[in-house]
C-alpha cells in the first residue's frame, strides 16, 4: 500500500451517537427501579413523561434489556379471556399502536395478526367462548374455521389426516410482533433524555427496610437511598422479595425459544397452538421464531433441556410440514416468574414504598408499555392504577384469582 | 438435560422423570382451622430460592416411585437424592 492510500474502512461513517449516558449512581433517588429490561425502562419512561418524576435510577445487574427482553418471541396480542386481563393487555396494545410516534423511533411494530388454533371439540368451545368474551370487551376477535385458517396462513397443515387436525382458530387482526431491541433502546433513550439514570452492571444485593418502609437498596456499586422502589426483575423477583423480608407466590422457570436460519417470507402472521404446543412467527429479517413450553423444574440458569426443544420442533413440523428442511440457528432460555393463576402481580407489596411488577410469566413482552404505564401510575400515586387493582398480591388470600391458563398459551 | 440419580434405579436422563415441585410440604393437619392467610400459604406459596432447593421427582417411565432431590437452582447441580421418608441432607 502506497503512502497516502486510505486503509479499508477509514471512510465508514462515525460510530452513531450513544442513545443514553453511562452515569455513576448518585447517593439518592426519589425512585429506584430494579431491573433494566422492557418493563423497568417503560416504567422509567412513563414516570418521567406522564408523572414528571425524573429523579429516577434504573438499576440493571447485567446490560440493558439483556434478560427476558432479549429472549422472548415478541408476540403482542390482547385476546385474553377475563375482563381484567383483556383490559390490561388491550390497554398495552393501544399504547403499542402509538408507541413509534410517542418514542419517535422505528419499532418494526407489525400488526400481522395472531391465530390461536383449536384441535379438539373442547378447544373449539373454549376458543369461541374467548372470541365472544373479547368482542363483548371491544377487542377485535374472530372465529375462523379450518379454511379460514388456511386463508390467513396458507402453510398451516389443515388436512383431516393430521395427528391433531386443525378444526379452526381464533384470530386477532390487530395482534402482531415488534423488534424487542428497538423497543428497549427507544424507551431507554426517552428515559435518559428526561434525566433518568440508567445504571448497568449494578446488581442489587440488599433492600433496606426501616419501620416497615423501604429506605434504599444496597448494590455492587454502593448503597443508594430511595424514597420508593419498584421491582421489575421478572424471574429474579423472589430473590429481591426475600431481601425485603417477604415471599411471593412465584416459581421461576426456564422458558426456551429458538430461531431458524434466515428464510424467504413464508409465514405472514403469528400462529399459536396450545394443544400441539408451539408458537411461531417470522421475524422481519427472515428467521422463524418459535417458543416452547416452560421447563418443568424451577431454575435460574437461563438454559433448559434439549428434549423440550425437540418436542417443540416436533410440534412445529406437525403444524408446518414446510419447515422440515429449515435449520435451527440458535436456541436460548430466559427465566420467567410464573404465578398460580398465570396472571401478573402489580401493585403494593407488604413493605411501604416498595412496589411489585412481577408474575407476567411467559407473556411479559406484550405488556411492556402497559405494565410500565400502570406501574408508573402506582408508584407516583402510591395507589394501584385501576387496571392493576385485580392483580394485587392479596388475591391469593381472597381467592379472587384471574385464571388465564387457557389464554396464556404457554404450557405451565 | 439433567442427570437425576433415582435412589432405586441409579442415574437416568431427566426425560424419564416428572417434576413434582417443592418437597416436604405437609397437608395441613386441620385444614378447616386455617385462616385465609394460612390456607393461601399452603395452596399458593412455594420456595423459589436461587440456590439449593428440596424437590420431588417421580421416575415415571421406570420404577414409578416418588423421591426427593436437592438441586441447586442456580447451577442445576444435584446435591443429594433420597427416598421418601428419609431425612434430607443438611445443606449449608
- Give the distance from CA A293 to its chain's centroid: 15
Residue A412: what pLDDT? Answer: 58
The mean pLDDT of A149-154, rounded to a whole number, is: 98
Smallest CA–CA distance, residue A394 to chain B, in Å, is 9
Whether pLDDT at A3 is above 60? no
B74 contacts in chain A (CB < 8 Å)? 299-301
Q: Which residue of B has its CA nearest to A337?
A: B48
Grid cell for residue A45: 419512561
Most A-contacting residue of B13, B41, B50, B75 (CB-CB within 10 A), to test interface? B50
Nearest-angstrom CA–CA distance, A145 and A218 = 56
Neighbour count for residue A166 (Cβ, 10 Å) = 26
Q: For residue B35, give how far its alpha carbon lies from the nearest alpha carbon of chain A (Å).
A: 9
How many contacts (CB atoms, under 8 Å) link A and B?
62
The answer on pLDDT for A66 being more than 80 is yes
Average pLDDT score over chain B? 95
Q: Where are the beta strands (DSSP E) in chain B?
A: 3-6, 10-13, 18-22, 52-58, 66-72, 78-83
* Global confidence as pTM: 0.95
Q: Give chain B's domains with CATH numbers.
A: 3-83 (3.30.2270.10)
Closest to A258 (Cα-Cα) out of A327, A319, A175, A184: A327
Q: Is B49 on the interface with A (CB under 8 A)?
A: yes
pLDDT at A98 over 80: yes
Give the percent of chain A with pLDDT over 70.
98
Three-state SS for A192-242 is HHCCCEEECCCCEEEEEEECCEEEEEEECCEEEEEEEEEECCHHHHHHHHH
A-chain residues within 8 Å CB-CB of B37?
Answer: 397
Residues facing residue A408 across a β-bridge: none
- pLDDT average, residue stretch A202-227: 98
Neighboring chain A residues of B46 at a CB cutoff of 8 Å: 249, 251
- All structural domains of chain A, each given as residue ranges with its CATH number in brackets, are 28-70+181-249+341-398 (3.50.50.60), 111-173+251-338 (3.30.9.10)
Percentage of residues in chain A having pLDDT higher than 90: 91
Contact list, B18 vs chain A (CB under 8 Å)? 296
pLDDT over 90 at A14, yes or no: no
- A268-272, A292-296, A344-348: which has the minimum mean pLDDT? A292-296
Question: Mind listing the pLDDT tens digit for each residue in A270-287?
Answer: 999 988 888 999 999 999
The SS3 assignment for A262 reads: strand
Amino acid at each position: 500500500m502506497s503512502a497516502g492510500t486510505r486503509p479499508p474502512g477509514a471512510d465508514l461513517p462515525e460510530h452513531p451517537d450513544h442513545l443514553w449516558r453511562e452515569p455513576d449512581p448518585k447517593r439518592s433517588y426519589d425512585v429506584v427501579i430494579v431491573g433494566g429490561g422492557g418493563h423497568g425502562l417503560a416504567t422509567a419512561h412513563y414516570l418521567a413523561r406522564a408523572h414528571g418524576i425524573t429523579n429516577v435510577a434504573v438499576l440493571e445487574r447485567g446490560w440493558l434489556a439483556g434478560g427476558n427482553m432479549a429472549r422472548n418471541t415478541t408476540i403482542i396480542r390482547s385476546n385474553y379471556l377475563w375482563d381484567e386481563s383483556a383490559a390490561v393487555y388491550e390497554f398495552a396494545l393501544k399504547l403499542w399502536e402509538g408507541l413509534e410516534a410517542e418514542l419517535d423511533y422505528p419499532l418494526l411494530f407489525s400488526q400481522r395478526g395472531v391465530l390461536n388454533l383449536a384441535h379438539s371439540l373442547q378447544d373449539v368451545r373454549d376458543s369461541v367462548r374467548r372470541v365472544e368474551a373479547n368482542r363483548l370487551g371491544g377487542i377485535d376477535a374472530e372465529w375462523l374455521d379450518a379454511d379460514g385458517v388456511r386463508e390467513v396462513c396458507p402453510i398451516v397443515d389443515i388436512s383431516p389426516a393430521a395427528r391433531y387436525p386443525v378444526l379452526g382458530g381464533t384470530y386477532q387482526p390487530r395482534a402482531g410482533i415488534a423488534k424487542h431491541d428497538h423497543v428497549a433502546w427507544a424507551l431507554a433513550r426517552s428515559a435518559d433524555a428526561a434525566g433518568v439514570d440508567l445504571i448497568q452492571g449494578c446488581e442489587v444485593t440488599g433492600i433496606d427496610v426501616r419501620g416497615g418502609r423501604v429506605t434504599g437498596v444496597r448494590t455492587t456499586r454502593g448503597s443508594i437511598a430511595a424514597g420508593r422502589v419498584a421491582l421489575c426483575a421478572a424471574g429474579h423477583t423472589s430473590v429481591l422479595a426475600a431481601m425485603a423480608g417477604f415471599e411471593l407466590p412465584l416459581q421461576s422457570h426456564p422458558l426456551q425459544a429458538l430461531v431458524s436460519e434466515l428464510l424467504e417470507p413464508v409465514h405472514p402472521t403469528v400462529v399459536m397452538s396450545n394443544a400441539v404446543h408451539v408458537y411461531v412467527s417470522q421475524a422481519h429479517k427472515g428467521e422463524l421464531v418459535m417458543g416452547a413450553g416452560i421447563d418443568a423444574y424451577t431454575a435460574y440458569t437461563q438454559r433448559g433441556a434439549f428434549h423440550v426443544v425437540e418436542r417443540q420442533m416436533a410440534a412445529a413440523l406437525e403444524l408446518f410440514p414446510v419447515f422440515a428442511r429449515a435449520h435451527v440457528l440458535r436456541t436460548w432460555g430466559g427465566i420467567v416468574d410464573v404465578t398460580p393463576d398465570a396472571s401478573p402481580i402489580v401493585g403494593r407489596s407488604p413493605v411501604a414504598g416498595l412496589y411489585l411488577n412481577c408474575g407476567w410469566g411467559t407473556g411479559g413482552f406484550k405488556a411492556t408499555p402497559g405494565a410500565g404505564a400502570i406501574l408508573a401510575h402506582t408508584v407516583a400515586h402510591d395507589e394501584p392504577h385501576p387496571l392493576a387493582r385485580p392483580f394485587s398480591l392479596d388475591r391469593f388470600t381472597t381467592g379472587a384469582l384471574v385464571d388465564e391458563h387457557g389464554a396464556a398459551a404457554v404450557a405451565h | 438435560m439433567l442427570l437425576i440419580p433415582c435412589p432405586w434405579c441409579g442415574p437416568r436422563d431427566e426425560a424419564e422423570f416428572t417434576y413434582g415441585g417443592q418437597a416436604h410440604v405437609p397437608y395441613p393437619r386441620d385444614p378447616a382451622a386455617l385462616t385465609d392467610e394460612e390456607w393461601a400459604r399452603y395452596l399458593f406459596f412455594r420456595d423459589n430460592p436461587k440456590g439449593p432447593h428440596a424437590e420431588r421427582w417421580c421416575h415415571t417411565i421406570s420404577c414409578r416411585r416418588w423421591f426427593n432431590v436437592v438441586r441447586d437452582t442456580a447451577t442445576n447441580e444435584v446435591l443429594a437424592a433420597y427416598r421418601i421418608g428419609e431425612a434430607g441432607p443438611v445443606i449449608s
